[in-house]
Structure 1
Amino acid sequence: MACTLDGHRAEIAALLVPAIAALGSETLSVEAADLPGRVAAAQLPALLPIPAFTNSQMDGYAARSAELSGASNEHPVVLPLGFTAAAGDRQIELLPGTVSPVMTGAVIPAGADTVVPVEATSDGVFGQLVRAGEGGPTGSATFTAPSEPGRFIRPVGQDLQAGALVAEAGARLTPTLIGALAASGVREVAVRRKLRVLVCTTGNELMGGTAQAGRIPDSNSPMLAAALRGYGAQVDTLRLPDDAQALGLALEAQARQVDLILTVGGISAGAYEVVREALAPRGGSFHHVALQPGGPQGFAQLDGTPVLCFPGNPVSALLSLELFLAPALRQLAALPEPVPEPYELAAEVHSPAGKHQVRRALLEQGKVRVLDPGSHLVHDLARADALVHIPVGVEQLAAGTTIDVWRMNV
């Protein structure tokens, strides 16, 4: 009796859990090109508050609000200028009865509690500006309206206090989160180590070029490697001929170098099934899943490293990855699970009653058109933008039936 889809999923999940738990972490700088998309391995507290100091939101004048409380058009307040506070300068002191020109991002002078934008003064522009150490300031500014306390001032720690969490363990490090880490003084980040995966394709038909009858290009290696890298894995590929002894020895050697091995092809019930011949004596399990495409499936462990064995037809191989491996990869990479969307069938669909069928589909004019189920149709796989699941026991779905679809190739 064939294994169910959920049953095989559970077997694969149990095999992967220890391997993923053993990955450990590595430390990267916040400027590392490889940091975006990685996952924090530990809590990341702020070393500095954001903002790091109380600063001006505007180019204007730092003042005491009490000294401007009576300002109006009829009774303008004229105050002499103190030293200018520019971004990057140390904090200066605002003397009573004066105002200090202050630039955006500059430290608010000690004693000031409000900022009046320069364009809100009578002159509308700065006069001669003098910074501390450059001589004595001259000139004045005229104000015709009050300015309440806190106006255009960014308090220290307004966004985040020092010691508060910037990111929880398990958070996916987006560009904006990396910016927050840098702003809070974090320079290095412990991240989960990438899963190292070896994709091994077999078959004499893949060897020796593509320009003769009986030989085909290896589409599985680049396709599966690209899918795995999209989930954050570090991928190498290996192509081997149909030699069970050589394959078994090669996989045993590679198992010590990687966290996971994927084999493609050579696992069905026919002759020359090289992966099954190599791994069954090493404790591998091979069975048929009530699934179309992708019925033949297998798994093993070599020196503690999980080996997932997928069928060789390209559609079957990719869907096997999405059905059995992708959930663990998404969890490891802190990626959300895809959310199904309801669509009406554009045409009637038939499915084998005893199998869970996964069909590629196109979303057209608000409806879903299901494509041919062939497991060799790799171009159909590339142009599809959705997957449709037809469960065991459902043989026919009429046009107009509302079904769930999962987007792909987006």
Structure 2
Amino acid sequence: MAISYAGALEIVLERSHRHKNRPRGDDHIKLDLALGRTAAQEYRSPIATPQFDSSAMDGYAVFSGWTRNASPNNPITLRVVESVSAGDKEATVANDINNGLVPCVEIMTGARFPISDTTAQFDAVIPVERTIFLGEGKNGRLLSIAGPSRPDQHKRFAGEDFQKGDLILEAGQVITEQHVMALAQTGMKKISVQREVRIGLWSTGAELSGLSNADSKVSDVNGPYLTAILRSKGARVKFMGTLPDDLRQIEKAIRTAVASRDFDMLITTGGVSVGKRDFIEAALILLRAEIVFHGVAIRPGHPILFAMASHQPGLSIGSGNIRPDPTVRKEQLVAFFGLPGNPIAAAVSFEFLAMPYLEVLGSQRKRRFYRAKLIENPCGSVAAPRKTPQHDEFRHGTLETQPDGLIAWLSKDQSPAKVKPFLQSNCWVHLRAGDTIGAEVSCYPLESSRHLTW
């Protein structure tokens, strides 16, 4: 009988914590190389930004009080007394009206606001396009404006973006482009990241393109999908090609990868069911690996296999119900996940069993999930969730915000071989025994939707 999902997940997490054996933050890298890596520590802004009051656009800094009466019928003449650009030191400027000419400072976007030597402080910027050039006079360049400026117009205040101590990045977060921008904004040049989890990946099956000359060959879906999603999780993944339905070749490929010590995890797709050409378990038994479990009470993805293999050739660490050898050190072990071949089944078993292992090994934060009310699919009927008490179901669907809370519904077609319905979804819905329409269910946003806040 297959192990329950809760039982399988507990084993995966226990083994991942046992396997974890790497220093935190041993890679200190340049910020432009950090995208997709996992933060080794928390990062907070060391400064307030902007660090000074500055201009939001090119124009002329003035004291707004001296422009309040400007109008087309009563234009005011400005006299340019100074010019400041981004990067210039703070300028202190005389700010007195002489001969009816209002002093102003030419200012560029990002430049520090000038300081007045009087109580009439520069507090607004008049955009260039709102001024009329009158010419050069004996008192300097003269401009005309035909409307008032308001206090703080086009002015950026010190600290209005980041305050010193604001949280930018949590330990265990996968670094995104937004994080890189924020870290750069606050002056950081390098960042400490977790060492990458090294993962080797194969697809299996003679029917896949490149292995078969038959007309029935199909494209490999799982290889590109898992490679892409693993990289998005901060892993260093190597796709090692497609394995044929041949026991010896599969055993040799796995043995070589394990013995290389180049990988922390190995993943295959296909070859884990009970067909006469499903050889993954048999290959692992030849390698004397420990088959931790084979088959989990989930749909889809129930044939998933989880094993531990040793770096040392010929060293037995157990198989089936045989207890693992306690002399095998955790740094000698490679975790092995054999996923089903159907794309949706592979995605489910990866997301909900292999991914938790990776999160622990890479010291990543756990994925966020949301509780939502399960409703009927608005576009029509869909197969009702099964009520078999032995199985957990993971179905792609849609999560949506309503005024009275979150709702979710399942995609109409849940075939594990069909990808188009998955393309139109934004979450996985976890259905436990007895969950049906009206139940509150757990929803896990897909990668493309994880930046949203429901």
Amino acid at match of 2:270: G
Change (3 A) 1:388 1:183: closer
CA distance 1:230–1:186, change in 2 (3 Å): closer
- Counterpart residue number, 2:100: none
Cα deviations across residues 23-62 of structure 1 (Å, max 9, x unaligned)? 7443443344xx4444432233545541133323462234
Task: State the match for 1:339 in structure 2.
Answer: 370
Distance 1:15 1:215 in 2: 37
Distance 1:100 1:116 in 2: 10
Is 1:91 aligned with 2:126? no
Q: Give the secondary-structure state (helix, strand or coil) at the position aligned to 2:223.
A: helix
Which one of 305, 310, 323 corresponds to residue 339 of structure 2? 310
Could you tell me how far apart the structure 1 residues matched to 2:48 and 2:269 are?
Answer: 51
Letter aligned with residue 30 of structure 1:
L
Q: Is the 8 A contact 1:360 1:370 kept in 2?
A: no
Given the alignment, which residue of 294, 305, 310 partners 2:301? Answer: 294
TM-score by length of 2: 0.67
Matched letter for residue 239 of structure 2? T
Query: What TM-score, normalized to structure 1?
Result: 0.73
Q: Hey, what's the Cα distance between the residues in 1 that align with 2:306 and 2:106? A: 67
1:113-152 → structure 2 map (5 Å cutoff): 113-118=121-126, 124-125=131-132, 138=140
Cα contact 2:124–2:155 (8 A) shared by 1: no
Residue identity matched to 1:322 = E
Q: Give 1:391 shift.
A: 3.5
Of 329, 350, 371, the residue aligned with 2:413 is 371
Say which SS state the counterpart of residue 183 (structure 2) adopts.
Answer: helix
- What's the counterpart of residue 172 of structure 2? 170
Question: SS in structure 2 opposite 1:344?
Answer: coil
The 1:219/1:211 distance shift into structure 2, 3 A limit, reads farther
- State the alpha-carbon separation in 2 of the partners of residues 164 and 349 from structure 1: 46
Gaps of 5+ in 2: 98-102, 310-331, 399-407, 449-454
Residue 39 of structure 2: aligned partner? 40
Q: Which residue of 1 aligns with 2:199?
A: 197
Question: Could you report, residue by residue, the CA deviation over 1:261-303 in whole angstroms, capped at 9, with x for unpaired residues?
Answer: 1123344456564321232322223333223332223222233
Q: Which residue of 2 aligns with 1:221?
A: 223
1:288, 1:295 within 8 Å by CA — same for their partners in 2? yes
Gap regions ≥5 residues in structure 1 = 131-135
Shift of the alpha carbon at 1:236? 1.9
Question: Does the CA contact (< 8 Å) of 2:135 and 2:143 recur in 1?
Answer: no
Determine helix, strand or coil for the equivalent of 2:83: coil
* CA gap 1:137/1:7 in 2 versus in 1, 3 angstroms: farther
RMSD of the alignment, in Å? 4.6
Amino acid at match of 1:282: A
Q: Deviations over 1:129-152 (max 9, x none)?
A: 89xxxxx95266799999998776
What is the letter of the counterpart of residue 84 of structure 2? A
Q: Flag the 1:127–1:160 CA change in 2: closer, same or farther, 3 A.
A: farther
Q: Which residue of 2 aligns with 1:133?
A: none
Matched residue, 1:264:
269
The secondary structure found in structure 2 opposite 1:284 is strand
